[in-house]
């Protein structure tokens, strides 16, 4: 349960017993009827996310769900099955137990159904009273094999509703009972009677044992493959959650002590040996080596680390022993935040899913009405009881709301999971629609196109550098850090008081009793400090070489030019080329001087440069591009990018940037590689395309199949197989996203 600032609370429930999208819609509607409650139920993940007033307890939510005949519990308290093969046919328990139970029922049902179908299909194999043998074999399949359908249908009936299970239960039980009636009271029970599928069969003598058994087996098999595929769809998130270390070598005064990772607190030091996972986020305090972060950030090459380097929990140490000081633990770690973001994205619903949800909510009652109308229509128009019954059963069995319910969430599960493996985190499904329209990408320079690891170049007088460094020391901006580090390298910095940031211009503070200004020439000019000809020439020379230059001054005079250079990321040019190949125009937007900005832009292949832009003007620039009719994506990493990220149609935050930027973005790029930007666009577009393909198939299948069944053009056995295949197809199509590169 997560408390919110407005007095509302967010609660997640694990729902058991759902068998189709109609179940999810029922639960969602019931929860939303509670006062102040907003709920979303995801059939594919088996979870419900509920926003509710603090006065509505979790127990009330659970009770509401259970009254509908389903199970509900917070995920942490949900009981795990003792073995995968445990028979949890009521739908409770985890997916592993569910898959094992389904496998067992499918195998037994298939073994019993095969001879029933064979005897019905091959007249030469039929013998005296073979129908009774078929009944003995088929009855356990329909009753025991299909028990999950009958039980769920009964529960739904008790609550005055209907789901997919209602259709299957009605269809298979009708076929079985019709056959029993025909065997006991009709000519079908007489010795020597041939089956309706033989060439000499009479319509009034028809029995449907093979239909009842085969349909039950087909549907069970479909559920088995669907459940197994759904588990595979969620593997990426489960693998992410499993990356965390279980225990850690904690350093204490007495030496190393192996303790559970939960005992770590911020500030603890722990040892990571080669081949071990880093237990939590931290800073290396001793040792030199490398870490393989591929499973967490998508970085394919191990990163060299030494004293002072930050490491992420879940990465694998390579090379030598490291001592790390914990900086984040538990839910605050990057791994936990990634998993939380992925889970939130998988739970959401894209706008494209709303139509499917509305259809699923009324699907089953409509199908039952169509089946009744089909039966009556055949009786009135064709006066054929057998044809009427066959067509009505086919209508009941071939309808498949599951495919509609699975179309969006399974694609989201696989797409967001694959994205997490590649260091791409989507905030939610609504992001997918935004990526489809994007035609312009606005990129910040420092920390985005460049590494953000800046260094001071050129000779600077000691006093000017140390005073500038003292004022900049409190800032986290890359330029400020470069100046502060350079000053500190010459010795201890003097104390700075009254330090403050002047947005977009620079900083000021009091050092050695005088007010020191560091920033753009315009900042110093406002305070009457104009540049001398020599300083101006030095400034222009630094900018011409692509450096970012600031000026330091005090007591009414500009004293020195500080030139800071950054390194363009090796992959930036390739990323820009990929963006152009996607039909997206890149734009460089930076607060740096025109010359420095154009030098970087030319090196990576960007023509459109907007330089000298103040932080508050970045959002205005994005808005201006939008006003021209462009769908704009913004890529940034700093606090000064947050407003522009929020203004853009799609905000992409570099994961190494600030928390403010990450929270403002729609997509977080965990790996420090600009190629993640075109990767994110391609993955989001591919996921959206998969969702659209799934929904098209689901709608087209039902629109085409129901009329064919009603016209008597589909045998119920074929209908059962087609229905099972439709759900498996949708999930299988989504699984193709796992191969995204």
- Ordered by start, the domain boundaries in the chain are 2-77, 84-214, 242-328, 333-424+679-741, 429-451+568-665, 455-565
Share of the chain above pLDDT 70, in %: 84
How remote is the C-alpha of 84 from its chain's centroid? 26
Task: Give pLDDT tens digits for 596-628.
Answer: 788 888 889 999 999 888 777 888 899 999 999
- The arrangement of strands across the sheet holding 289-292 comes to 303-305, 289-292, 316-318
CATH classification code of 242-328: 2.70.150.10
Task: Give pLDDT tens digits for 303-314.
Answer: 788 888 888 888
Q: Give me the residues of the chain with pLDDT under 70, please.
A: 1-7, 21, 44, 75-97, 186-206, 229-230, 232-243, 294-301, 340-358, 360-361, 401, 405, 428-429, 638-640, 655-665
| d(C-alpha 217, C-alpha 236), whole Å | 30
Half-sphere exposure of 104 (CA within 13 A, CB side): 13
The catalytic residues are: 444
Task: Give pLDDT tens digits for 565-594.
Answer: 878 888 899 999 999 999 999 999 887 778
Query: What pLDDT shows up at residue 82?
Result: 33
> Among 371, 411, 414, which residue's Cα sits nearest to residue 162?
371
- Average pLDDT over the chain reads 80
Token duo for residue 658: 């600030």
Contact present, 720 and 149 (Cβ < 8 Å): no
State the pairing for strand pair 269-272/322-326: antiparallel
Query: What pLDDT shows up at residue 298?
Result: 54
Domain 2-77 has CATH 3.40.50.170: no
Query: What pLDDT shows up at residue 115?
Result: 93
DSSP 8-state class, residue 640: G
Domain 429-451+568-665 top-level CATH class: alpha beta
How remote is the C-alpha of 741 from its chain's centroid? 16
Query: What pLDDT shows up at residue 206?
Result: 65
CATH architecture of 455-565: 3-Layer(aba) Sandwich (3.40)
| d(C-alpha 640, C-alpha 596), whole Å | 19
For the chain, the residue count is 741
Contact present, 49 and 40 (Cβ < 8 Å): yes
The answer to whether the Cα torsion of 414, 415, 419, 422 is positive or negative is positive
Token duo for residue 353: 């899913």
Largest CA distance in the chain: 117
Q: Where are the alpha helices (DSSP H) in 33-125?
A: 58-67, 95-121
């Amino acid at each position: 349960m997560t408390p919110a600032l407005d007095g509302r609370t967010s609660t997640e429930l694990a729902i058991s017993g759902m068998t189709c999208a109609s179940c999810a819609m029922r639960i969602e509607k019931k929860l939303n009827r509670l006062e102040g409650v907003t709920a979303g139920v995801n059939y594919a993940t088996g979870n419900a996310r509920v926003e509710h007033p603090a006065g509505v307890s979790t127990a009330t939510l659970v009770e509401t769900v259970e009254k509908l005949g389903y199970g509900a519990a917070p995920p942490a308290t949900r009981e795990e099955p003792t073995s995968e093969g445990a028979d949890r046919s009521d739908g409770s328990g985890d997916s592993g137990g569910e898959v094992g139970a389904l496998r067992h029922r499918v195998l037994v049902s298939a073994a019993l159904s095969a001879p029933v179908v064979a005897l019905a299909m091959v007249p030469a194999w039929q013998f005296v009273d073979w129908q009774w043998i078929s009944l003995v074999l088929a009855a356990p399949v329909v009753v025991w094999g299909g028990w999950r359908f009958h039980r769920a249908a009964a529960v739904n009936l008790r609550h005055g509703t209907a789901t997919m299970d209602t259709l299957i239960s009605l269809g298979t039980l009708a076929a079985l009972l019709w056959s029993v009636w025909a065997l006991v009271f009709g000519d079908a029970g007489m010795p020597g009677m041939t089956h309706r599928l033989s060439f000499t069969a009479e319509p009034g003598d028809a029995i449907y044992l093979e239909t009842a058994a085969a349909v039950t087996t087909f549907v069970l098999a479909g559920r088995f493959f669907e459940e197994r595929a759904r588990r595979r769809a969620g593997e990426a998130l489960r693998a992410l959650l499993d990356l965390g270390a279980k225990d850690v070598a904690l350093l204490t005064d007495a030496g190393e002590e192996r303790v559970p990772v939960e005992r770590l607190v911020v500030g603890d030091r722990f040892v990571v040996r080669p081949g071990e996972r880093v237990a939590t986020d931290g800073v290396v305090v001793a040792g030199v080596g490398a870490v393989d972060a591929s499973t967490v950030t998508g970085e394919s090459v191990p990163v060299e680390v030494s004293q002072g380097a930050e490491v992420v929990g879940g990465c694998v140490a390579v090379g030598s022993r490291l001592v790390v000081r914990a900086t984040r633990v538990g839910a605050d770690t990057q791994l936990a935040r990634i998993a939380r973001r992925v889970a939130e994205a998988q739970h959401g619903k894209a706008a494209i899913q709303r139509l499917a949800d509305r259809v699923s909510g009324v699907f089953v009652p409509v199908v039952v009405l169509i089946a009744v109308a089909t039966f009556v229509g055949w009786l009135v128009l064709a006066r054929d009881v057998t044809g009427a019954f066959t067509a009505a059963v086919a209508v009941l069995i071939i309808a498949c709301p599951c495919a509609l319910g699975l179309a969006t969430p399974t694609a989201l599960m696989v797409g967001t999971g694959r994205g997490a493996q590649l260091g791409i985190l989507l905030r939610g499904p609504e992001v997918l629609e935004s990526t489809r329209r994007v035609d312009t990408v606005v990129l910040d320079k420092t920390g985005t196109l460049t590494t953000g690891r800046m260094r001071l170049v050129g000779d600077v007088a000691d006093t000017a550098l140390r005073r500038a460094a003292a004022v900049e020391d409190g800032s986290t901006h890359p330029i400020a850090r470069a100046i502060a580090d350079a000053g500190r390298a010459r010795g201890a910095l003097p104390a700075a008081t009254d330090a403050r940031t002047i947005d977009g211009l620079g900083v000021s503070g009091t050092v050695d009793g005088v007010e020191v200004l560091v920033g753009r020439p315009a900042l110093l000019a406002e305070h009457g400090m104009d540049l001398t000809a020599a300083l101006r020439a030095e400034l222009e020379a630094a900018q011409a070489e692509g450096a970012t230059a600031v000026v330091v001054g005090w007591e009414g005079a500009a004293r020195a030019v500080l030139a800071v250079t950054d390194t363009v990321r090796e992959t930036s040019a390739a990323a820009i080329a990929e963006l152009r190949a996607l039909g997206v125009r890149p734009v460089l937007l930076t607060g740096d001087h025109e010359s420095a900005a154009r030098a970087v832009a030319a090196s990576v292949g960007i023509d459109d440069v907007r330089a000298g832009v103040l932080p508050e003007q970045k959002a205005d620039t994005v808005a201006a591009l939008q006003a021209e009719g462009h769908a704009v994506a913004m890529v940034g990493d700093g606090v000064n990018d947050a407003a522009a990220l929020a203004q853009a149609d799609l905000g992409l935050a570099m994961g190494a940037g600030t928390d403010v930027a990450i929270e403002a973005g729609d997509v977080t790029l965990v790996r420090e590689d600009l190629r993640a930007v075109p990767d994110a666009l391609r993955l989001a577009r591919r996921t959206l395309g998969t969702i659209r393909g799934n929904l098209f198939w689901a709608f087209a299948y039902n629109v085409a199949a129901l009329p064919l069944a009603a016209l008597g053009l589909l045998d119920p056995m074929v209908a059962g197989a087609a229905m099972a295949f439709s759900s498996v197809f949708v999930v299988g199509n989504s699984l193709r996203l796992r191969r995204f590169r």
